[in-house]
């Protein structure tokens, strides 16, 4: 800037916490004390009235956010210190983002005429969680249901993704006088992936005069009194309520514990350590789980561990033998696909199953089919059918066997889902790893042998 002030001005972006002075940080109070001007919504300015003395105070309504940023910048450029206050944390749906945007737009660079300090505060997610117990002890996310500045499809996608991924959710801006349908729609989307019994906490005006707390369940959530000052906390699949406290366990250990699954590790098999459900260990556990009961199928394992089919195949491929599992799987190098299909063709009569993204399943019995690769398509042609499979979607090919007999050839997509599989109907094909290895190059599946430090993530 050409006419920069001789002394640097400063903007404090201050988070005041949920609404009670005792939950405001010492740095927040210090920042306000150091400021010439305090700008913010009047409810929050009231919280620091003992510090205002002879300061300039600019009270603004909810809708004038950008004006507040411009005013802060103008004064800071005159060499003044300005505190822009937000409730909770200034960076969580607060003033920090818009202020930086206005600053950058005006040509500002860090370290130049105006200094900026973000003073963190306890956000509603933290404050509300503290009032109901310990619902955030596992992975959590915040989603604002306000569709004033965000298109609803974006919000809906995030709600569904968070529900599916089993995050604990804190819903901000759940409902207002005019926006009443969003919380109902959010509930519907969450119920697509979560149990109706999932614990939900509705915390209104945390640490303020009209504080109100209600514990309910996902299927009842939208029936309760929810407003602008409510934060909705939705638990994950392990969250429980006991004696009025909502608690999310630190891990998922119980869900997959050896005792729970009835798994017994044989002596000497896993010397000195138990099987872990971590990135490295879970595959061994999945293979051991399959080995434990003859009747368990690969699909059972995919559903039990809630993992894609190809991940279960990888688990069997890496750990099936050591765990005594009756299933076998080997990943065929995708470059050998023509060989793989010619091999399948040699079975003469095949059951071919193709799954579409929309969920429909086509099952055909084919005799000596012709396979033709054309561009991105694999065409399966017989007297009775023409089937076109998007070949570019195939990311892995597997030979799968049970008790040494080939069950079929499985082609999986990038997510590890089953796209196409072919099974011999009439012939019994022995799965001889050595002979099959002559037929194909098997691709290496990544496997790290080092065990995680079991205690590394305990605070
Ligand atoms: N910067 C704030 C959030 C502003 S968005 C923060 O970090 O907390 C406004 C939303 O925050 C409200 O709709 C409500 O969902 C939540 N909220 C803010 N203060 C709250 C309080 N004291 N009790 C409950 N929810 C609160």
Residues 130 and 91 grouped into a single domain: no
Contact 65 CB / ligand 1 (< 6 Å): no
Contact 17 CB / ligand 1 (< 6 Å): no
Residues 117 and 203 grouped into a single domain: no
In a domain, 296, yes or no: yes
Provide the angle, in degrees to the nearest 10, between the axes of the packed helices 65-77 and 96-105: 60
The per-residue pLDDT for 205 is 96
Instruction: Please give the angle made by the CA atoms of 244, 247 and 250, to the nearest 5 degrees.
Output: 165
Q: Which two tokens stand for residue 452?
A: 């995680």
345 burial via Cβ count (<10 Å: 0-12, 13-18, 19+): middle
Distance in angstroms between the alpha carbons of the first and the last residue of the chain: 47
Domain final residue, candidates 122, 143, 175: 122
In a domain, 175, yes or no: yes
Mutation test residue for ligand 1: of 15, 17, 84, 87, the one with most atoms within 8 Å of CB: 87
Q: What is the pTM of this model?
A: 0.79
Assess contact for 16 and 87: CB atoms under 8 A.
yes
Mutation test residue for ligand 1: of 179, 229, 230, 232, the one with most atoms within 8 Å of CB: 229
- CA of 207, closest atom in ligand 1: 22
Residues 300 and 427 grouped into a single domain: yes
Look-up of token digits 């999986």: 412
Give CA 374 to chain center in angstroms.
37
In a domain, 3, yes or no: no
Sheet order of strands, 212-217 included: 140-144, 168-172, 230-234, 199-204, 212-217
In a domain, 140, yes or no: yes
Domain count, the chain: 3
DSSP for residue 257: -
In a domain, 2, yes or no: no
Residue 300 burial (CB count, 10 A): 14
* Domain encompassing residue 162: 125-247
Domain final residue, candidates 84, 104, 122: 122
Contact 120 CB / ligand 1 (< 6 Å): no
Residues 76 and 134 grouped into a single domain: no
Contact 182 CB / ligand 1 (< 6 Å): no
**Nearest protein CA to atom 18 of ligand 1, as residue:** 124
Residues 204 and 336 grouped into a single domain: no
Instruction: Please give the angle made by the CA atoms of 379, 416 and 258, to the nearest 5 degrees.
Output: 145
Give CA 46 to chain center in angstroms.
38
Distance CA 206, CA 124 (A): 8
Query: What CATH number has the domain bearing residue 149?
Result: 3.30.950.10
Residues 405 and 339 grouped into a single domain: yes
Residues 26 and 129 grouped into a single domain: no
Query: What CATH number has the domain bearing residue 84?
Result: 3.40.1010.10
In a domain, 329, yes or no: yes
**Nearest protein CA to atom 13 of ligand 1, as residue:** 173
How big is the chain, counted in residues? 459
The per-residue pLDDT for 256 is 56
Residues 425 and 314 grouped into a single domain: yes
> Tens-digit pLDDT profile for the chain (459 aa)?
445 446 789 999 999 999 999 999 999 999 999 999 999 988 888 888 888 988 999 987 656 778 888 889 999 999 999 999 999 999 999 999 999 999 999 999 998 889 999 999 999 999 999 999 999 999 999 999 999 889 999 999 999 999 999 999 999 999 998 899 999 999 999 999 999 999 999 999 999 999 999 999 999 999 999 999 999 999 999 999 999 999 999 987 655 554 444 444 444 444 444 667 787 788 999 999 999 999 999 999 999 998 999 999 999 999 999 999 999 999 998 888 888 888 898 898 999 999 988 889 999 998 888 888 898 999 988 887 888 999 889 999 999 999 999 999 999 999 999 999 999 998 898 887 777 777 777 766 665 554 444 444 555
- CA of 122, closest atom in ligand 1: 7
Residues 113 and 151 grouped into a single domain: no
Contact 179 CB / ligand 1 (< 6 Å): no
Instruction: Please give the angle made by the CA atoms of 202, 204 and 209, to the nearest 5 degrees.
Output: 150
The per-residue pLDDT for 327 is 96
- CA 409 / ligand 1 centre spacing (Å): 54
Residues 198 and 118 grouped into a single domain: no
The per-residue pLDDT for 450 is 44
Contact 93 CB / ligand 1 (< 6 Å): yes
Residues 131 and 106 grouped into a single domain: no
Cα dihedral 292, 294, 295, 301 sign: positive
In a domain, 441, yes or no: no
Contact 122 CB / ligand 1 (< 6 Å): no
The per-residue pLDDT for 269 is 44
The per-residue pLDDT for 173 is 97
In a domain, 257, yes or no: no
Assess contact for 168 and 201: CB atoms under 8 A.
no
Residues 67 and 185 grouped into a single domain: no
- CA 231 / ligand 1 centre spacing (Å): 7
DSSP H or E stretch at residue 199? strand 199-204
Query: What CATH number has the domain bearing residue 422?
Result: 3.40.1570.10
């Amino acid at each position: 800037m050409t006419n920069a002030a001789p002394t640097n001005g400063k903007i404090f972006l201050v988070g005041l916490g949920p609404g009670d002075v005792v939950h405001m940080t010492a740095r927040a109070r210090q920042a306000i004390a150091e400021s010439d001007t305090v700008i913010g919504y009047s409810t929050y300015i009231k919280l620091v009235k003992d510090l205002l003395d002879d300061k300039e105070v600019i009270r603004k309504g909810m809708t004038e956010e950008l004006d507040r940023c411009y005013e802060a910048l103008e004064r800071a450029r005159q060499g003044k210190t300005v505190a822009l206050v937000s409730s909770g944390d200034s960076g969580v749906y607060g003033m920090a983002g818009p202020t930086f945007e206005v600053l950058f737009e005006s040509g500002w660079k860090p370290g130049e005429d105006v200094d900026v300090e973000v003073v963190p505060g306890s956000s509603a997610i933290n404050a509300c969680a503290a009032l109901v117990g310990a619902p955030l002890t596992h992975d959590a996310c915040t989603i604002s249901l306000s569709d004033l500045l965000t298109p609803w499809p974006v919000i809906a996608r995030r709600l569904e993704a968070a529900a599916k991924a089993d995050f604990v959710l804190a819903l901000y801006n759940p409902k207002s006088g005019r926006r009443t349908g969003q919380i109902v729609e959010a509930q519907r989307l969450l119920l697509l992936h979560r149990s109706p019994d999932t614990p939900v906490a509705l915390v209104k005006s945390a640490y303020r005069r009209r504080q109100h707390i209600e514990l309910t369940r996902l299927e009842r959530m939208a029936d309760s009194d929810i407003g602008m000052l409510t934060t909705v906390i939705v638990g994950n699949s392990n969250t429980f309520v006991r004696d009025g406290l909502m608690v999310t366990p630190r891990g998922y250990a119980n869900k997959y514990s050896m005792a729970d699954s009835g798994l017994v590790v044989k002596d000497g098999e896993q010397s000195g350590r138990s099987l872990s459900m971590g990135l490295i260990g879970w595959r061994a556990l999945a293979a051991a789980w399959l080995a434990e009961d003859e009747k368990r199928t690969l699909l059972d394992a995919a559903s039990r561990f809630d993992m894609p089919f190809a991940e279960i195949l990888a688990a069997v491929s890496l750990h099936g033998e050591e765990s005594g599992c009756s299933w076998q799987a080997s990943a065929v190098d995708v470059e050998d696909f023509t060989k793989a299909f010619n091999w399948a063709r040699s079975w003469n009569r095949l059951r071919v199953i193709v799954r579409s993204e929309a969920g429909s399943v086509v099952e055909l019995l084919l005799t000596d089919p012709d396979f033709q690769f054309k561009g991105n398509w694999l065409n399966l042609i017989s007297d009775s059918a023409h089937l076109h499979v998007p070949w570019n979607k195939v990311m892995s090919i597997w030979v799968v066997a049970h008790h040494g007999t080939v069950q079929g050839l499985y082609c999986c997509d990038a997510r590890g889902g089953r796209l196409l599989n072919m099974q011999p109907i009439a012939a019994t094909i022995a799965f001889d790893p050595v002979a099959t290895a002559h037929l194909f190059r098997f691709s290496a599946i990544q496997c790290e042998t080092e065990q995680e430090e079991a205690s590394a993530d305990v605070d």
